[in-house]
Amino acid sequence: MRDFLETAVSFPPVVFTFGMILVVLYWLIVMLGLFDIDAFDSDVDADGDSFLSSLGFGSVPATVILSLWTITGWVVTMLGTIWLRSTSGATVWIVVGGIALLVAGLGLGMLIARLLAAPLSKVFEDAPVTQRSDLVGRQCVIRTGSVTTEYGQADVKDDSGAEHTVNIRRSHHEPEPVGDDDYGRGKTVVIFDYDDDTDTYLVIPTDID
């Protein structure tokens, strides 16, 4: 374990080790419902395509792409460093090899992330706007710890009974009785509007005193 940790914090794996820590923390926060999966996606341009989409990543969220890139880079540099240290005793060659491994980790990470983007893109592909707007008026169950005007997710079923996870938001103009307690995990809310620009649904509690 000690050798593993020493390798993880050595050059070049340390570059990706730091990224791995951020990746793990981010996905833990997502699972707690504090962030959406696409919370840090690139801004949408006039044609509706993000910068990463133009590079061939389709509709896969930037956070997923960066996670795959980081994980692959970390594995490549970790295995490469272990091999390099076992075959070369000269410090200069370890340094030169480390630089080469860093480049390889960056390159292979991006390559593998792009190869995985094709099948993943189908999973994250946006449904047509007409289908999304059809969900307006339906009840959904909150899956995040809370819902604000900035983040939140819920599960909603369409006409076929298929369940979808959608991004929901609270309105800035809620009735007076509505409070934070109405937006806890497992609470039922109703969708009353859809924002095409942000791909989010405005919701309100089903029962308002």
Q: pTM surpassing 0.85?
A: no
Measured CA to CA, the distance from residue 80 to residue 151 in angstroms comes to 40
Burial of 154 (0-12, 13-18, 19+ CB in 10 A): buried
Tokens linked to 13: 């794996």
Q: Which domains does the chain carry?
A: 2-124 (no CATH), 129-205 (2.40.50.140)
Q: How many CB atoms lie within 10 A of CB 142?
A: 23
* pLDDT tens digits for range 59-113: 677 788 889 899 999 999 999 888 887 776 656 566 778 888 889 889 988 888 8
